Chains A and B, each alone.
Chain A
């Protein structure tokens, strides 16, 4: 049996990800929603109504459908591919094409590609067309079946970011199938982990999945570093940044001497305040700092925008064990040690625990 007594309540205007190993019935579950597969028993309700109450093609036209290899019609231009569902709904050719052109921009495609054929596009562009085609008639529901599995990791990340951006603007009810747990955690508002036979192992927001996997199956499926990955959900805004160990490259001897006790290392910046690298204080000579001899500062993070995971990653990458915080323009706004980040992580964990206790006691 592909899917056995699965019961799920999919939230409106959010991304629900179905994830699991191959053969777990996630695709079958998705295809039951638009009746590409008919369940042998049980029912699926959409806004409280059984989906079998309306004609099957009416139902399907009210749901966007995106599949793995985009499934574009190779004999039609990009514009006409996107205009498919509006045309099925009886829109005029001009109106449907105008709408399609609008959608191309929405998914980040150059409208110069409108008259091209699918074979002239890259895999990533084809998948964008697939998403645009699914959105063309502005359906409230979007079904996505491993849409980004066939593209390389860099393109996939771009497509995922684009989907999140589009979702911010449009607020669709999205059901997204993937076998990639990282993709599930990145995209999902809620994630349903399925085990073989379509049995639900856990249905929870990604942060909860990482902090409290329901059983060993979910834990194994999440992989080894779920503790680190969970840090993605904690903001770095609360980190206590130090500005004392930061010196500009033109700093004079008195300034260097006054900053030396602040930390075991000083961060040297250029005249605009952009980080150049770390150095031990006694290796710096006023007026003669050689940027080539500084230690690499790793990857900086942007407080508030980036998560604690990025901050910790920056500290781990830095040879000094200190992470560099920068503003949107890349200017150093402070530095923070691994110890301070570690304390922030512990505080964040206990904060979550307190919130959960409060909710449990409510």
Chain B
């Protein structure tokens, strides 16, 4: 049997579409973990990135934190957190957030830093308050880059959220881990296919969001 046959068998088994271990339930769990992690990471990364980008201060400290965050292995962090805190949602969220903050932080910082200084100077010279300079002049122009940072983070979260299954939680990782344990390769392949599909769907969502929110005057530049 090859991979396609496994996948075919998995998705055609009606038992996989119902109940607490059904695809809709696991999918929803996975999506919920991912969204929560992304929201927390954005709530930390965006304000810090935008503010440091706007003031131009703290870039070096930022790069250090980001490098450190990227260097930490998610799985190792998960095990460490479980030993330290015990089982539950928190030890799963921490590695996911640690994974997602650096791309959000660094790209939003870089995005604001790289905005052409002359419209910013013009805005200040016309008497625009600082907050408006940031949100009405810098952010709209930096938006494509900011969104790309969020997109990178979101895809990494979606792929990595499978680790939640290691500590007894749900999500699509359940199929992969249970499948490996039970030597049920249909399940492993099915779970992996679903995760890959969700990652691609995330890409599509960000593409649509960028079409909707980025001004046509900015978009043509790439």
* Interface, chain A (partner B; CB < 8 A): 31, 34, 36, 56-61, 65, 67-77, 84-85, 88, 117-119, 130, 133-134, 143
Contact = CB atoms under 8 A, between A and B. Distances in A.
B140 interface: yes
Given A67-B121, A76-B215, A117-B215, A84 B220 contact: no
A85 B136 CA distance: 13
| Residue in A56, A60, A68, A74 with the greatest tally of chain B CB atoms within 10 Å | A74
B128 interface: yes
A67 B125 contact: yes
A61 B141 CA distance: 23
B125 A72 contact: no
B39 interface: no
B119 interface: yes
B60 interface: no
Contacts of B125: 31, 34, 36, 60, 65, 67, 143
B127 A59 contact: yes
Contacts of A84: 123, 126, 128
Prevailing SS type, chain B contact patch: helix
Interface in B115-133: 116, 118-129, 132
Given A65-B122, A117-B220, 14 more contacts: A34-B125, A59-B127, A60-B126, A67-B122, A71-B118, A71-B119, A71-B121, A72-B122, A73-B137, A74-B221, A75-B140, A75-B141, A88-B126, A119-B217
Interface of B: 116, 118-129, 132, 136-137, 140-141, 214-218, 220-221
Nearest to B140: A75
Contacts of A65: 122, 125-126
B127 to A, nearest CB: 3
A65 to B, nearest CB: 4
B73 to A, nearest CB: 40
B119 A57 contact: no
Given A75-B141, A117-B216, A61 B119 contact: no
Contacts of A76: 215, 217
Given A67-B118, A67-B121, A67-B122, A117 B127 contact: no
B119 A72 contact: yes
A288 B137 CA distance: 71
Nearest to A61: B127
B131 to A, nearest CB: 12
B127 A74 contact: no
A57 B215 CA distance: 27
B93 to A, nearest CB: 35
A113 B135 CA distance: 26
| Residue in B127, B137, B218 with the greatest tally of chain A CB atoms within 10 Å | B127
Contacts of B121: 36, 67, 71
B128 A119 contact: no
B219 to A, nearest CB: 9
Contacts of A71: 116, 118-123
Contacts of B221: 74, 119
Contacts of A85: 126-127
Nearest to B217: A117
B137 to A, nearest CB: 6
B129 A74 contact: no
A60 B130 CA distance: 13
Nearest to B132: A88
Nearest to B125: A65
5 contacts: A31-B125, A36-B121, A57-B128, A73-B137, A84-B128
Contact of A68 (B118, B126, B141): B118
Given A67-B121, A72-B119, A57 B127 contact: yes
Contacts of B120: 71
Nearest to A31: B125
A361 to B, nearest CB: 46
Contacts of A133: 122, 126
Contacts of B220: 117, 119
A133 B118 CA distance: 14
A77 B141 CA distance: 13
A135 B137 CA distance: 20
A130 B127 CA distance: 15
Nearest to A136: B126
B217 A74 contact: yes
Contacts of B215: 74-76, 117
Nearest to A89: B127
A77 B215 CA distance: 9
Nearest to B130: A57
